[in-house]
Amino acid sequence: MPDVYTQEWYEAVRGAMNDAAGTLRSVPEGRFAVAVEIEGDGVSPYVGDEGRRFLLEIEDGVCLWYRELAPGDGEHAQAGRIDYRFRGPATVFDELAAGLLDPIDAALRGTIAVRGDMRLLLRQAEHVKALLQAYTSGVDTTWPLGGPPYVRGHDAAEAPTRA
């Protein structure tokens, strides 16, 4: 079981996405680059203030690669044009990866901001749903620093203390 946000985990997620895409009757043709921006929120122990950025490239329904960008790495240099961008707080992405949140709900409620050509995205809704489900439940993830749901600061302060 890979630790979250490691190269092994990215590969496992990529494999799960491609397995999911393989079950669909049809997948969109063409090549798409997706950027994911996770903002540090002071709650997730896996994402600092500087956040984390990821890129993935999908061609004819297959995720070719999924990798994390180092601070200062230019996303256009690695993927050319970015077609879609997903952005949200770290806790939300952690809860998605742990299967605690529904990704479609998160997008429709605006918890995660989605930018890009909506006409294309809506056309590929079945495929997007399959990819997101693979992300949320396709990999048995290990959380070495503790997994979500997290006890937030004020919750911890209100929690009863043991004698």
State the virtual CA torsion across 87, 88, 94, 95 in degrees, nearest 10: -120
Q: How far is the CB of 109 from other proteins (least distance, A)?
A: 6
Q: Does 110 bind other proteins (CB under 8 A)?
A: yes
Question: Nearest Cα to 9, choosing from 50, 68, 64?
Answer: 68
Binding mask 36-65 for other proteins (x = CB under 8 A): ------------------------------
From 8, 19, 73, 126, residue interacting with other proteins (rule: CB under 8 A): 126
Distances (CA, A) of 69 to 11, 66, 140: 15, 10, 23
Q: How far is the CB of 103 from other proteins (least distance, A)?
A: 11
Q: How far is the CB of 32 from other proteins (least distance, A)?
A: 5
CB atoms within 10 A of CB 100: 14
Q: Does 24 bind other proteins (CB under 8 A)?
A: no
Residue number with CB closer to other proteins (12 or 34): 34
Residue 62, C-beta contacts closer than 8 angstroms, at least 6 positions apart: 18, 21, 27
Q: Does 25 bind other proteins (CB under 8 A)?
A: no
Q: How far is the CB of 61 from other proteins (least distance, A)?
A: 11
**DSSP class per residue in 31-87:** EEEEEEEEE--SS-TT--TT-EEEEEEEETTEEEEEEEEPTT--HHHHHSS--EEEE
Residue number with CB closer to other proteins (96 or 112): 112
Binding site for other proteins (CB under 8 A): 28-32, 81, 83, 104-114, 117-123, 125-126, 129
